[in-house]
Amino acid sequence: MATLTAEQEREQLNTGTKAVAESHRFDEAALERWMVANVAGFGGPLEVRQFKGGQSNPTYQLVTPAKKYVLRRKPPGNLLPSAHAVDREYKVISALGPTGFPVAKTYGLCTDDAVIGTWFYVMDMVEGRILWDQSLPQYEPAERHAIFMAKIKTLADLHNTDHVKIGLEDFGKPGNYMARQVSRWTKQYKASETVHIPEMERLIEWLPKTVPEQERTSVVHGDYRLDNMIFHPTEPRVTAVLDWELSTLGEPLADFTYLMMNWINGGISQIPDLKAHGIPTMDEAVDYYCSLTGRTGLHDLNWFYSYNTFRLAGILQGIVGRVRDGTANSPHAAQQADRVLSLAEASWHFAQKAGAS
């Protein structure tokens, strides 16, 4: 039997649905009553399945004779203070939808814990392709290029959206975004800390002292990557961006440089000739994003790469912490501990390139 690549293993673990996990079951009859009362056009009977993927907010497929819906909820158990804000996800998706930005249609938000035990929202089930392997081995170079350009353009479209005009002026605090993000992920890392990592301690000291000045404010996604979007079944076109849990108002370069990490330590970094493969180089990706957003260039890239790697270490440490607390949503969550250490080391390397000593 052939050995699976990391991307193929991740795709297997995260694709499709399963029976609802024992720890994430709820009163399905109560949900059906809520759907009847709150979702226009809903008709049962209702079948509930759980999507395999997702470490954070449990996500369910709701199947009815006429159509399918998706439900995202807060997980049960003790939660970190600012995590799992499904109400914020619902707000940003609902605001972006009417602009034509590719998101799922929303149907309703429930903030009454009495229904299924936690807050949740319901949205449309968007059919299409989720592409897990960044190298896109199943496609020809021309289609790879079109998919990557569509991914970059969709992010630029988000950053170009007038957040005040669509009612999101209060979706985040104005200014000082990077400093607040460093503080947030430091606190969440510390709340979930299981072992002492010297590089994380150095970063916790260095990052707040060296925050670049914020030039622009936009809606930022917070976890913008290829497998958090659905592509049209046959066209190189994004039909829905998923997983808005980390979205807020902030520095758009945080989003864009997070995407660029794929060229540095993601699957793209292993491709010897990007041009022949059909994937834009880092410089081409930066130039395209700048052309779409009216920029002449990008600054402080190594600082942003250090921050993004630090933040990912904090997110994964949160998963490790939930293993400790017994609320993890994946049997593989414990494996993330080794990744936290390697990410901390990589983040400190970028910090040194940005001037840290």
**Rounded percentage of the chain residues whose pLDDT exceeds 70:** 91
How does pLDDT run across 15-36, given as a tens digit for each residue? 788 888 888 899 999 999 999 9
Neighbour tally for 188: CB within 10 Å: 20
Give the C-alpha separation, 22 to 116, whole Å. Answer: 14
Question: Is domain 6-124 given the CATH code 3.40.50.300 in the classification?
Answer: no
Of 47-56, 67-76, 77-86, 201-210, highest mean pLDDT: 201-210
Neighbour tally for 36: CB within 10 Å: 12
| 183 phi, psi to nearest 5 deg | -65, -45
Whether pLDDT at 319 is above 70: yes
* Cross-strand pairs, 218: 250
Lowest mean pLDDT among 137-141, 170-174, 279-283: 170-174
Q: What would be the CATH architecture of the domain defined by 141-353?
A: Alpha-Beta Complex (3.90)
Looking at residue 4, its pLDDT comes to 52
How many Cα atoms are found within 13 Å in the side-chain-facing hemisphere of 269?
A: 8
Neighbour tally for 99: CB within 10 Å: 13
pTM: 0.87
Give the C-alpha separation, 96 to 241, whole Å. Answer: 11
Give the C-alpha separation, 220 to 252, whole Å. Answer: 6
How does pLDDT run across 242-276, given as a tens digit for each residue? 999 889 999 999 999 999 999 987 789 889 999 99
**pLDDT band at residue 92 under the 50/70/90 scheme:** very high
Domain ranges of the chain: 6-124, 141-353
Q: Give the Cα-Cα-Cα angle 166, 170, 174 (nearest 5 degrees).
A: 115
| 199 phi, psi to nearest 5 deg | -65, -35
Q: Which of 139, 228, 193 is nearest to 316 (CA)?
A: 193
How does pLDDT run across 108-126, given as a tens digit for each residue? 999 999 999 999 999 999 9
* Cross-strand pairs, 122: 71, 108
Sheet arrangement for strand 47-51: 17-18, 47-51, 59-63, 68-73, 120-124, 106-110
